[in-house]
A and B are shown apart, each in its own frame.
Chain A
Amino acid sequence: MNETAIKAEGLSKLYRISHLAKQKTIRDAVHHGMRLLWRRLRWKAQLNREEFWAVRDVSFEVKPGEIVGIIGRNGAGKSTLLKLLSRITDPTAGRITLRGRVASLLEVGTGFHPELTGRDNIYLNGAIHGLRRSEIRQKFDQIVEFAEIGQFLDTQVKRYSSGMYVRLAFAVAAHLEPDVLIVDEVLAVGDAAFQKKCLGKIREVSTERGRSVLFVSHNLSSVRQLCTRAILLEKGSVVADGLPGAAIAAYMRRDGTKVDIRHIAGDGAARITALKVAGAEAVSPIFGEMRIEIQYEARAPAGSLEFFILIYADDGECVAASFQTDSSQRVAAGSGGGTISVSFRNPFAPGRYLVSAGIFDAYRQFHDWVEFAESFEVIPGFADGRAFDQRLGRVSLQAQWSP
């Protein structure tokens, strides 16, 4: 009875990128054609074309009841893989076997029409995902209850707050009851409480009903919490496949070599332009003084800002957080940009750590969130010169001991 729900064999997707960008108009196509012809005539047979394997020779199996996280950098092929599995685009090579009904949720609220009411959109969205009218009618009350939109059911969706919009969209998706659910990064939006509810729903779908879930996220801690397995993609190929902790650790090790700014959320009205641990080598002993500097720029629409940092151990677990308003004031509106610094006494056990930082607006909605943009090393020793004593604990408290 342990049939596979998803089986991918040698799956590949090739994109051809013409150097003259994409020939979106006839003029471009004619121009491109003439250039190729000219090159041929001059015996330069090189076709001016670049091939790019977005997904290359990927094979894996997913069993019913598994929740598989797919992680990897931007451009590693995660989204293309999901598009292949959800039949949005055709593979160049390879084969996919899907057992049962597949629902893919690559975006929240696909096909929502702003002019229609919440009620109409529930039916429309259900139909887009392949539900029958009778099935939607059956689940209608559950969907409305889950979305918590009650009295706004007959209001046009364009008048909804973004939170309500996301809630309604996810509610429909959560009640599709597919055999295979494919979810892409959709939980990056919405408030924390609702995110939690969604994760709970995904878990329930999987464990109680034996459905398979494929889950792409930049948020490694939700992958760690939710998934029973994780697959790490790099340049379109699988480089790790196993327990989430192991895959995440592999990701962090590979990822740490190249530290760059990667924006994973936010509207960009204020952006982090650089994140740096002060000091030449970014190494620190336990209880050593540390300072993290965040450079940012803000555009006019951004109001007052609140910064935060998150520190991750190299197995992907977020081990510490600090928010600006814990000990200081928000940055007033109209600052335009500048540098914010965070100082603390390093409590972490020896090892490598990655730093993420972000900016909230006045309602704690993201302006920006950069992940793993800086790393530092904690050396096995204390700031006062003592050697590391192999103690347990991820952090050492600087506590007051009385006799």
Chain B
Amino acid sequence: MTYSAPQSDATSSAVLVIEAGRTEAHYWRDLWRYRELLGFLAWRDVKVRYQQTLLGVGWAVIQPLASVAIFTFVFGQLAKMPKGNEPYFVIVLAGQLAWQLFANTIGNTSSSLLSSAQLISKVYFPRLIVPLSTVLVALVDFTVVLVIYAAVALWTGTLPGPNVLLLPVFIALTVLLAIGAGLWLAALTVRFRDFRILVPFLLQIGIFATPVGYQTNYLRSWRGILDFNPMTGVIDAFRWCLFKADAPFAWYSFSFSLAWTALLLASGVWYFRRTEKTFADDI
């Protein structure tokens, strides 16, 4: 088989054979060929999101700040959870930073197929592009919160150590974890519409089952259960990056995060590809 340069396949007389039940060998090449569509869809989502809403960027600021304020009040003031050297508000904001990226990515990817139903039933392209294209919006929102975090950190003097250089790695891990779960949920949503209601509900519960509003190192007794949550390790890692290391890196919970990510991503892609051929029939 010869590999043709991307520019030439528009003019080449490539022969395409579609057969029942045969998974196409050129799926990944197709995905690569449609990479510009991925870019266009992502750019469309960002553009529409920020021009349609009245406050635009404002919402991306207000939403996380409001929940951080509530969490600080509930966990820090009412429940009097123990804290380390950092102000409680900053601890919660660091947790929120990771959680919001995770939750937004899952929320966007899982609903993406249904909201593109019209496109899916009328045009062919590798369907993976639809959930993947929604990730950019979540990343843009994340960037906004990251800027806020930087401002708050400077203002309160909670400056990170050299560990912060590893933050991009953990950001990537969060996105991959969320995509893995999101692919499952997106494909399942096409089949069972319940997931449209179930996903926001699970995410709502998830924020309490995840150490967003509290820190894990003060919860010895619950630790064992919390570690099963793949986001526990991720949020620990975020805080490890963002605070001057006063705790060792939580390898135990982080290994769970890594295992979950690998498992969900591999099985998510498998399930998505297995079902994508009938999306147009079910949607």
Contacts and interface: CB of A to CB of B under 8 A. Distances in A.
Interface in A20-60: 22, 24-27, 29
Given A89-B281, A132-B10, A94 B20 contact: yes
A91 B21 CA distance: 8
A99 B18 contact: no
A92 interface: yes
Nearest to B14: A100
Given A25-B192, A25-B193, A88 B51 contact: no
Contacts of B20: 12, 90-95
A210 to B, nearest CB: 12
Nearest to A94: B20
A339 interface: no
Interface string B8-41: 0010111111111100000000000110110111
A96 B17 contact: yes
Given A29-B192, A87-B124, A98 B277 contact: no
B238 to A, nearest CB: 34
Interface string A101-114: 11010110011010
Contacts of B193: 24-25
A115 B51 contact: yes
Interface stretch (B115-123, B158-166, B228-236, B257-265): B115-123
A97 B17 contact: yes
B23 to A, nearest CB: 10
B122 A89 contact: no
Interface string B146-187: 000000000000000000000000000000000000000000
Given A110-B118, A110-B119, A128 B37 contact: yes
B44 A106 contact: no
Contacts of B36: 127, 132-133
B48 A115 contact: yes
B2 interface: no
Interface residues of A, number: 47
Given A96-B18, A135-B10, A88 B192 contact: no
Given A15-B281, A127-B36, A95 B19 contact: yes
B281 A97 contact: no
Contact of B194 (A26, A93, A129): A26
Interface stretch (A116-124, A279-287, A297-305, A313-321): A116-124
Contact of A124 (B19, B44, B121): B44
Nearest to B45: A113
B128 interface: no
A15 B15 CA distance: 28
B278 interface: yes
A82 to B, nearest CB: 10
B249 interface: no
B47 A120 contact: yes
A106 B123 contact: yes
Contacts of A128: 37, 40, 119, 123, 125
Contacts of A89: 277-278, 280-281
A88 B121 contact: yes
A179 interface: yes
Contacts of A102: 16
A110 B194 contact: no
B113 to A, nearest CB: 14
A22 B193 CA distance: 11
Contacts of B44: 113, 116, 120, 124
A90 B194 contact: no
Contact of B277 (A26, A90, A96): A90
Contacts of B7: 132
Contacts of A104: 122-124
A172 to B, nearest CB: 12
Contact of A88 (B19, B40, B47, B280): B280
B124 A88 contact: yes
A91 B6 CA distance: 28
B206 to A, nearest CB: 20
B4 interface: no
Interface in A109-163: 110-111, 113, 115-116, 120, 123-124, 127-130, 132-133, 135
Contacts of B280: 83, 88-89
A86 interface: yes
26 contacts: A3-B13, A12-B20, A24-B193, A83-B280, A86-B123, A88-B121, A88-B124, A90-B20, A91-B20, A95-B19, A97-B16, A97-B17, A98-B15, A98-B17, A98-B18, A99-B15, A100-B13, A101-B14, A115-B47, A120-B44, A127-B36, A127-B37, A128-B119, A130-B37, A130-B125, A132-B7
Closest 8 CB pairs of A and B: A87-B124, A90-B277, A127-B40, A96-B18, A110-B122, A127-B37, A98-B16, A89-B280
Given A90-B278, A110-B122, A111-B119, 20 more contacts: A25-B194, A87-B18, A90-B20, A90-B21, A95-B17, A96-B19, A97-B17, A99-B16, A100-B12, A100-B13, A100-B14, A104-B122, A106-B122, A107-B122, A111-B123, A115-B47, A116-B47, A127-B41, A128-B40, A132-B6
Interface of A: 3, 12, 15, 22, 24-27, 29, 83-84, 86-102, 104, 106-107, 110-111, 113, 115-116, 120, 123-124, 127-130, 132-133, 135, 179
